[in-house]
Amino acid sequence: RLEHQFQADEPLNTPVNITLDVSVLCANRTLLPSLPPFLPSLPPCPFFSPLPPLIFRAMARLAKEREESQRPGAEKAARTQELHKKLRKLANSCSQVGDDRPISFCQFSPNSKLLATASWSGLCKLWSVPDCELVRVLRGHNEKAGAIVFHPQATLSLSPSSLAMASCAADGSVCLWNLESDTPIAELEGHYSRVSRLNYHPSGRFIGTACFDCSWRLWDLETHTEVLHQEGHSKPVYNVCFHPDGSLVGSCGMDACGRVWDLRTGKCVLLLDGHLKNVLAMDFSPNGFHVATGSDDHTVNVWDLRRKRCIYTIPAHDNLVSHLKFQENAGNFLITSSYDNTAKVWAHPGWTPLKTLAGHEGKVMCIDLSPDEQYYATASYDRTFKLWEKEV
C-alpha cells in the first residue's frame, strides 16, 4: 500500500490522507501500457503520478504468482509433466562453424529470430534462426570478445537504427551496436581491465559490466556515462546479472563468492558464500526469490533470497560450470553449460536432471534459451555453435 500525507481541511486539489491499494495503480493502463493480460482493467486514478517502473514489474510478477498459486494441483502437475516430456525430447537440429577461434558467448534476440555470437577472434556475428545463416559480422573489438547481449526491446519495439546490442572484450572495450551497421555506433570508455560479461537492466536504459579490476559498473546508455562503480570483491568480477524487477543486481567472480546488491543504495545486501572455487555464472529466477550460481568446483548452488541461504547444491558437471540460465518466463527449469563438453537441463523443484545435450567436441562456453522456448543454443571452444529443439 502507498500512503500520502495530506491536510483533511484543505481544498480537494490539496493532498488528503488516503491509502490506496497499489494493485489499482498497477491495473491502470495509462500508467502501464504494457500491462500483462492477467491484470484487470480499471479506470485511471487521478490522485497519483506514475510509479517507478520497478514497482510495476514487481506487482506484475506477484500478480502472476498469485494467479499461478490458485490453479488446481492436478492442472499444474499435468503442465509440469508435459514440460518435462518436451525437454527430454531435445535433439540437435543445426550445427554451424561460427568462427576460426573459440566461440565464447551466444544469445537469442527477444523475437527469437536472431542469434548473436561472440568469439575469441574479436568478431561478433548475427545468425538467422533456425537455419543458422550468417546475417552480419560486427567488427569493433581487437581482443577476445567475452559477450554480446540484446536490449530487452531489440527486434520488438525498437527501430533497427536504435541501440540494440552491447558487447565486451578482454581489452576493456565495450561496444554499442544497432541492427543496421557492422561497426559500433558508440563505445563506453572507462574500463582499464578485461570486461568478461555484461548485461542489460530490465528497463533497457542501463547496462552492467563485470570487470577484472575487482569491480562492476553501471552505465547510463542515454548519456553513455558511468553512474555507479561498485567495489566489494577481493578478486576479479566475472559476471553480473539483474533481478527481474530491476531493484537488485548480482555479481560473482574469482573470490569464490557471489554478492547481491541493492541498486538504490549501492550496498551489498547478501553474500553468497558457499563455493570452493571461482564463481563464473549467475542468474535470478523469474519468481524473484531464487538465484543460481555456477562454479569452477563443478557445482551449481541455488539460493533463496528470503531465507538468505543456499537451499540446494547440484553436483552438476564433471568440470567447471561456464554458464547457466533459468527458464525465462516461469523458472520451471534451469539450463547449464560446462567445460566437460556438455550442457544439461535441470527440473524445478527437485533439481533432477532431465536432459544432457552432448555433441560438442570441446568445452561448452555458453548456453541460451530463446524467449519463445522453441530453441536452445550452445557455443563451444570447438568453434561451433549448435541449435537444439524438440525432436518430432
pLDDT, tens digit, 9 for 90 and up, residues 195-217: 999 999 999 999 999 999 999 99
The answer, yes or no, to whether the previous bond of 152 is cis (omega within 30 of 0) is: no
pLDDT level of residue 55 (50, 70, 90 thresholds): confident
Distance CA 337, CA 113 (A): 22
Residue 282's identity, in one-letter code, is M
pLDDT level of residue 229 (50, 70, 90 thresholds): very high
**CA geometry: angle 392, 77, 60, nearest 5 deg:** 95
Cell numbers placing 155? 527486434
Cell numbers placing 15? 493532498
Task: Look over the chain and give the mean of its residue pLDDT values, rounded to a whole number.
Answer: 87
pLDDT at 20: 39
pTM: 0.84
pLDDT tens for 17-37 read: 434 344 333 333 333 334 344
Q: What are phi and psi of 76, to 5 degrees?
A: -65, -40
Distance CA 138, CA 293 (A): 30
Task: Calculate the dihedral angle through the C-alpha atoms of 152, 280, 196, 232, rounding to the nearest 10 degrees.
Answer: 100
Mean local confidence (pLDDT), 253-274:
95
pLDDT level of residue 45 (50, 70, 90 thresholds): very low
Cα 243 from chain centroid (whole Å): 8
| DSSP one-letter string for 78-113 | HHHHHHHHHHHTEEEEEEEE--SS-EEEEEE-TTSS
What spatial distance separates the first Cα and last Cα of the chain, rounded to whole Å? 49
**Least confident segment among 13-27, 74-88, 100-114, 342-356:** 13-27
Distance CA 258, CA 39 (A): 35
Q: What DSSP designation does 44 have?
A: P
Cell numbers placing 217? 559498473
Contact predicate 297/319, CB 8 Å: no
Contact predicate 260/303, CB 8 Å: no
Distance CA 52, CA 263 (A): 13
3-state helix, strand and coil shares in percent for the chain, rounded to the nearest 5? 10, 45, 45
**Which residues contact residue 125 at a Cβ distance below 8 angstroms, ignoring those fewer than 6 apart?**
98, 99, 116, 117, 119, 134, 135, 136, 137, 138
The answer, yes or no, to whether the previous bond of 44 is cis (omega within 30 of 0) is: no
Distance CA 287, CA 290 (A): 7
Q: Which of 147, 173, 167, 331 is nearest to 243 (CA)?
A: 331
Distance CA 129, CA 119 (A): 19
Cα distances (Å, whole numbers) of residue 288 to 95, 224, 300, 351: 34, 29, 18, 18
Sheet of strand 376-380: strand arrangement: 90-97, 384-390, 376-380, 364-369
pLDDT level of residue 147 (50, 70, 90 thresholds): very high
- For residue 181, is pLDDT > 90? yes
Contact predicate 363/341, CB 8 Å: yes
Distance CA 177, CA 168 (A): 11
- For residue 313, is pLDDT > 80? yes
Query: Which helix (H) or strand (E) is 259 found in, with range?
Result: strand 257-262
pLDDT at 76: 74
Distance CA 137, CA 183 (A): 9
Distance CA 59, CA 35 (A): 10
**Least confident segment among 193-202, 230-239, 348-357, 371-380:** 348-357
Q: What DSSP designation does 81 have?
A: H
SS (H, E, C) 213-243: CCEEEEEECCCCEEEEEEECCCCCEEEEEEC
pLDDT level of residue 54 (50, 70, 90 thresholds): low
Mean local confidence (pLDDT), 130-138:
96
